Structure 1
Amino acid sequence: MPELPEVAAIADFVDGRAAGFPIRRVDIASLSVLKTADPPYTALTGRIVESVGRIGKYLVIHTIPGAESDPEPSINLVIHLSRAGWLRWSDQLSQTPPRPGGKGPIAIRVHCGMPGEGFDVTEAGTQKRLAVWIVREVGAVDKIASLGPDALALSRADLAEILSATTGRIKNVLTDQRVLAGVGNAYSDEILHTAKLSPFASSKTLTAEQLDALYDAMHSVLYDAIGRLDGQEVAKLKSEKRTGLRVHARTGMPCPVCGDTVREVSFTDRSFQYCPTCQTGGKVLADRRMSRLLK
């Protein structure tokens, strides 16, 4: 799943190529991804891309009128890539609209940037969760309206206040977008490993030293990822992300810090990784949904 660093990199990449240019056309291959109907997607045609940014893990393409006859001062194309979505930029985008309802991965195609350029939004797999909104105000997207503060906009005091008001395992708190926006499964694993915290530590009982470590780790992990991804082609972001991971998706491999074997806890449709020596005092977490530290 693209998280804060990847979405920020995608936003910067598209902004550098599309800002100031008109959207020439939008093709919809999967009507189910559209979560709004007013304005219609056709209203984007002819509008100028003013900027491309992100809110949490949402990509936001802000457009302004391209003609005096356009009555809409602001229309935003908002994209949530979810678990298996991606944006694929092309300098020679196919001018043939993707077939609606087809079996391919393309959900929408946006013709923007220089003539012939644009991007496809794709989704792999059978679980279709990718979502697209076309709204006048970004706050009209209910899931954005309910987001917690951005992970990189918090002070240490802000983080302490948030954690003191939550109940649960720190892994779940970090990935709850209503509490904290931008961090998902991969970077929460990396943050907790860097902070030397168990994924099952209680968010309300962290010591001052642990809170300091968590705050520092959140910033160092996310800013390091943003720095590594900066300027990369969109097509290379996934592989570049993997090169910077120390525990996530590294089950069975040695921890780069202590050499212990990276372990995994698996759930029905996802898993997370951790290092016992670095994070749980050498104890191994039971691999079941209601895991506890093995005695």
Structure 2
Amino acid sequence: MPESPEVDALAGILQIRLVGREVREVDLEEFRALKTRNRPLTELVGRTVTGVRRFGKHVSLDTSEPGRSGPSLLIGFGRAGWAFWVEEDAEEQAPVIARIRFGGAEGDDGEELALTDAGDWLSLSLTVTDDPTNEPSVTKLGPDPLSDDFTREAFEGITGKRRKQLKALLQEQESLAGIGNAYSDEILHAARLSPTMHAADLDEDERGRLYAAIREILRGAFAGRRDVPLERQKAEKVAAMRVHGRTGEPCPVCGDEVRDVPGSKGGAQYCATCQTGGVPL
């Protein structure tokens, strides 16, 4: 579920609610998620959260202790990871991988954050590190599509003469950070390009449309997800989709039937009239 717009919204919410709070307790319920076995989550206990940073679909909780900076917890959300606030009467939304309790001010019980994974296989990862920017999962990331680094020149270098289908290229984190299955469908629909077309076959006009669509779709998604409560992020994202997850529905642009991308097992969608010259894949 999470892609960069949702993870960015999460980072903003965590920044507001957690900075200045002390990590009181950690509970790791799925040990496979911890990628630093020699550095347990208990290293964070007693540290104060000083900041929250986003790297693609990763979030870093930075901490300190009196007199010096402390370790960071780098959370990778993968394909199906997410987070929610634990309330006394709240139902668990997915299998909980870890729980982190943060202290509060006087008269404040603090916050408890649950990290979850709803996938068929575990994709959420937890790394205790002194410098998240040196971790392989971060160093391998391509440019963030809304950053100043994602220039038209950088985009040309990413697409170039690569014999890779556009759908797969957009989801390749080493090329572009933070785009996943849903937004890649939306981007290609907005750019009027087939998901199976190879990047090397794009002409000048098509490359321009794709670059513009990446920026347009993600800019709108970042704005749309901002300040949405964590438990509402998925529903808001689904509601905003034009073709992704809309199999059998009319395309909002041309009215043609939205179809599944062959081989995607219903996981990816497109419009033949808008994207493949009216000829179904």
TM-score scaled by structure 1?
0.87
Identity of aligned residues (%): 38
Instruction: Give yes or no for the alignment of 1:106 onto 2:102.
Output: no
Describe the SS at the equivalent of 2:261: strand
Is the contact between residue 61 and residue 78 of structure 1 (CA under 8 Å) also seen in structure 2?
Answer: yes
Structure 1 match to 2:29: 29
Partners of 1:13 and 1:282 in 2: how far apart?
A: 43
Unaligned runs of 5+ in 2: none
C-alpha displacement of 1:270? 6.6
Counterpart of 2:278 in 1: which secondary structure? Answer: coil
1:166-197 CA distances to partner (integer Å, 9 max, x unpaired)? Answer: 32111111111111111011000000000101
Is the 8 Å Cα contact of residues 37 and 134 (structure 1) preserved in structure 2? no
User: What is the aligned partner in structure 1 of residue 127 from structure 2?
Assistant: 133
Alpha-carbon separation, structure 1, partners of 2:262 and 2:79: 16
Match status 1:239 vs 2:243: no
Choose 125-134 or 264-273, whichever is displaced more. Answer: 264-273
- The answer (yes or no) to whether the contact 1:74–1:137 under 8 Å persists in 2 is no
Cα 1:51–1:156 change in 2 (3 A) is same
Deviates more, 1:176-185 or 1:73-82: 73-82
What are the ranges of 5 or more consecutive residues in structure 1 without an aligned counterpart? 99-103, 286-295
Deviation string 1:7-29 (CA, Å, 9 cap, x unpaired) is: 00111111110012111111111
TM-score where L is the length of structure 2: 0.91
- 1:40–1:134 contact (8 Å) kept in structure 2: yes
Aligned to 2:259: 263
Per-residue deviation at 1:266? 4.8
Structure 2 SS opposite 1:50: strand
Shift of 1:124: 2.1
Code of the residue aligned with 1:16 in structure 2: it is: I
Of 275, 287, 291 in structure 1, the residue corresponding to residue 271 of structure 2 is 275
- Shift of residue 269, structure 1, vs aligned partner: 6.5
Instruction: Quote how far apart the aligned CAs of 1:222 are.
Output: 0.6
CA RMSD, 1 decimal: 2.0
**Preserved contact between residue 18 and residue 113 of structure 1 (Cα < 8 Å):** no
Q: Secondary structure at the match of 1:26?
A: strand
Q: Is the 8 A contact 2:80 2:124 kept in 1?
A: yes
Shift of 1:210: 1.2
Q: CA deviation at 1:93?
A: 9.4
Q: Is the 8 A contact 1:33 1:131 kept in 2?
A: yes
What stretches of structure 1 move > 6 A for 4+ residues in a row? none
Is 1:79–2:75 an aligned residue pair?
yes
